[in-house]
Amino acid sequence: MPASLLAPFRLRDVEFRNRLGLPPMSQYSAVPGEHAATSWHLHHYATRALGVGTVIVEATAISREALVTPHDLGIWTDDQQDSLAAVAEVISDGGAVPALQLSHGGRKGSRTRPWDGDRWLRPDEGGWEVIGPSPIPFASGYPVPRPAGRRDIDRVLYDFQRAARRAAAAGFRMLELHAGHGRLLHSFLSPVANQRSDHYGASFDNRARLLLETVSAVRGAWPHRFPLAVRLSCDDYEPGGWTLPDTLRLAPLLARAGVDLIDCTSGGIRRPQTRRPAPGYQVQYAAAVRKTGVATAAVGLINDMRHAGTVIDAGHADLVLMGRRLLVDPALPLRAVGAEDAGLVPRQYQRALQTVPASDF
């Protein structure tokens, strides 16, 4: 593994053994109505924990209304919390920091999962009402969201806070708030979705209010010794939308509110999106945000160790997240280990690999 990737780093009291991680990736594999982790989640996350510094468990709904699909994970009941504790444990066993992404789907909710057609789930099919900043749908074929009122907003803050408490009790050691890809927190930030004229809309400060209030609510419930991350879509790629300068203005406000890491993604405020992803296309955002003084994660088509190493070497990010490549190639980090990082190989495999370097497989 490139030396730069191997350097451990620390956020608050949590030490990450290296700078490679798995980004949150929904598995859509929970049982509808239960929303607890299943044996698939245990298998998937245990496998991907080997050799990386952190595994961020997929978007997990803070309440029933916060689901995107009926197969999403949730963290509002004791059973869900217990099932996620087992996931956190297998990730820790693999040597990685277990992290959990908390989500409210907002106007992207009430959908079937991708392999069930990714279509609107109508109320008579078990669908639910979705909320958003304004009655502007995400795309054609999506429901018109009901504009969130005071009570909805209070409920969202309460649900995020309660979910944070449950995540700590389940054994997670980093939390990430999903404020990207058009979900509720992102939709309040972006003028494309937020056309309110109250306290939560119009000006930059008002559009940032829900996210900043969520951060304070969560920070109050999430242990001080553990880091808090926020995933931001740093650019909407839309005329009149959220831009990189907006992100650079928001980053110090988030840091002051107790955010330790900004996970820099982009796009997703509406469909269709014109921007075509290219290798490393979002690294520029991680680099720009990092210059404001907050730690960043870079993600998006960083598909090999060499590329990941150059992102860290160049000082563009503190952490590189590798998603789809680790879906098909979960052993990549182990195959990349050399003599200097042999400790990344699980104790159970070390003796077996002493005679044959892991990189030969």
Q: Is 113 in contact with 69 (CB distance < 8 Å)?
A: yes
Of the listed pieces 92-100, 130-138, 300-308, 333-341, which binds ligand FNR according to CB under 6 A?
Answer: 300-308
Q: Cβ of residue 325: shortest distance to ligand FNR, in angstroms?
A: 6
Of 6-65, binders to ligand FNR (CB under 6 A) are 23-26, 58-59
Q: Provide the minimum distance between the beta carbon of 91 and ligand FNR in the complex, in angstroms, as a whole number.
A: 16
Q: Which residue is nearest to ligand FNR, using beta carbons?
A: 323
Q: How far is CA 1 from the centre of its chain?
A: 24
Cα-flanking dihedrals φ and ψ of residue 213, to 5°?
-65, -35
DSSP string, 65-77: GG-SSTT-EE-SS
Among 164, 299, 312, 320, the residue binding ligand FNR under the rule CB under 6 A is 299
Rounded to the nearest whole angstrom, what is the least distance from the CB of residue 345 to ligand FNR in the complex?
Answer: 23
Cα 109 to the center of its chain, rounded Å: 17
Nearer to ligand FNR, 61 or 345 (CB): 61
Pick 132 or 201: Cβ nearer ligand FNR: 132
Rounded to the nearest 10 degrees, what angle do helices 244-256 and 204-221 cross at? 40
Please state whether beta strands 14-16 and 97-103 pair in parallel, antiparallel, or not at all (unpaired). unpaired
* Bridge partners, residue 97, by sequence: 54
Are the CB atoms for 345 and 357 separated by under 8 Å? no
In the region spanning residues 87 to 106, those forming contacts with ligand FNR, defined by CB under 6 A, are: 101
According to CB under 6 A, which one of 48, 108, 231, 270 is a site residue for ligand FNR? 231
Determine contact, residues 48/326, Cβ cutoff 8 Å. Answer: yes
> Interacting stretch for ligand FNR, rule CB under 6 A, among 130-138, 163-171, 299-307, 352-360?
299-307
Give the span between the Cα atoms of 110 and 128, in whole angstroms.
6
What is the rounded CA–CA span in Å between residue 129 and residue 148? Answer: 11
x/- contact string, 252-291, with ligand FNR (CB under 6 A)? -------------x--------------------------
Is the Cβ of residue 113 or residue 290 nearer to ligand FNR in the bound state? 113
Q: In whole angstroms, how close is the CB of 360 to ligand FNR at the nearest point?
A: 26
Give the shortest CB-157-to-ligand FNR separation in angstroms: 20
CB of 178 to ligand FNR, least distance (A): 5
Q: List the x/- string, 168-197, binding to ligand FNR by CB under 6 A.
A: ----------x-xx----------------
For residue 5, give the nearest of 293, 227, 322 by alpha carbon: 322
What residues does 178 pair with on adjacent strands? 231
Q: What is the dihedral of CA 157, 163, 166, 168, to 10 degrees?
A: -80
Alpha helices, H only, 232-323 = 244-256, 283-290, 305-313
Choose, by CB under 6 A, the member of 133, 137, 323, 333 that binds ligand FNR: 323
Name the residues that contact ligand FNR, by CB under 6 A: 23-26, 58-59, 101, 178, 180-181, 231, 265, 299-302, 322-325
